[in-house]
């Protein structure tokens, strides 16, 4: 019986200690919020209509003219909007915004994998995922900023559409989740290693 008890104690000693509930809850919350940010940003970029200025609707992909009598007339040729540099600048805005979503998807995947498959490299995967979310924030905020700068003469606060505010919210969530993820990784000790005092 003592041999079985010794083997059972060894097996129990080899198990990694479970993480506290609060830490697991925070990490899960970060993953859920990052997923929400990816969805918001994807929908916003696919729709692309971000600014309504009088009878004109400016977007990442189209330029539309609207009137009360007819349906919106949309053109892919942004140079016909007669805004200097809009056609070239919008390529940059939509490219960095799309890259932000791609980086966020990879970051979100790393965050989820680090929680599902716990091993020696889980903390590194979590840190890399959080860093990719920070890159997503920089790219998405750059896309928003370039859009606003290109259309600075047409911009009004009430002119921004719901899709613009979705992208703005997604950008804020990328930042918040990235900083939170890096912070919780720095204040928690590696699993299975004793904390040094």
Closest CA to 133 of 125, 122, 145, 123: 125
Which CATH number belongs to the domain containing residue 50 in this structure? 1.20.140.150
> Does a structural domain hold residue 114?
yes
Tens digits of residue pLDDT in 80-139: 777 788 888 888 998 999 999 999 999 999 999 988 887 778 888 999 999 999 999 999
pTM for this predicted structure: 0.80
> Does a structural domain hold residue 86?
yes
Report the domain count for the chain.
1
> Does a structural domain hold residue 189?
no
**Residues 6 or more apart whose Cβ sits within 8 Å of residue 144:** 97, 164, 167, 168, 171
> Does a structural domain hold residue 132?
yes
> Does a structural domain hold residue 148?
yes
Tens digits of residue pLDDT in 1-43: 455 555 555 544 455 556 677 888 899 999 999 999 999 999 9
Q: How far apart are CA 173 and CA 168, in angstroms?
A: 9
Q: Which domain holds residue 45?
A: 39-184
Residue 156 has pLDDT above 70, yes or no: yes
> Does a structural domain hold residue 22?
no
Residues 138-152, mean pLDDT to the nearest whole number: 92
Q: How far apart are CA 44 and CA 78, in angstroms?
A: 19
User: Would you state the pLDDT for residue 192?
Assistant: 47
> Does a structural domain hold residue 156?
yes
**Residues 6 or more apart whose Cβ sits within 8 Å of residue 71:** none
Query: Would you give the distance in Å from CA 61 to the centre of its chain?
Result: 21
Tens digits of residue pLDDT in 168-177: 999 999 999 9
Higher pLDDT, 80 or 179: 179
User: Would you state the pLDDT for residue 5?
Assistant: 53
């Amino acid at each position: 019986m003592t041999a079985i008890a010794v083997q059972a104690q060894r097996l129990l000693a080899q198990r990694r200690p479970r993480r506290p509930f609060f830490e697991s809850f925070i990490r899960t919350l970060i993953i859920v919020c990052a997923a929400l940010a990816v969805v918001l940003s994807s929908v916003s970029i696919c729709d692309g209509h971000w600014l309504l200025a009088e009878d004109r609707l400016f977007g990442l992909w189209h330029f539309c003219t609207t009137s009360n009598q007819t349906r919106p007339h949309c053109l892919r040729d942004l140079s016909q909007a007669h805004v200097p540099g809009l056609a070239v600048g919008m390529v940059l805005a939509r490219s960095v915004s799309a890259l932000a979503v791609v980086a966020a998807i990879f970051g979100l995947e790393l965050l989820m994998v680090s929680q599902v498959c716990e091993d020696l490299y889980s903390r590194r995967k979590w840190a890399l995922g959080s860093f990719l979310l920070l890159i997503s924030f920089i790219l998405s905020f750059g896309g928003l900023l370039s859009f606003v700068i290109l259309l600075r003469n047409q911009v009004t606060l009430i002119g921004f559409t719901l899709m613009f505010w979705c992208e703005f919210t997604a950008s804020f969530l990328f930042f918040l989740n990235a900083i939170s993820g890096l912070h919780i990784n720095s204040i928690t000790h590696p699993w299975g290693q004793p904390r040094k005092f």
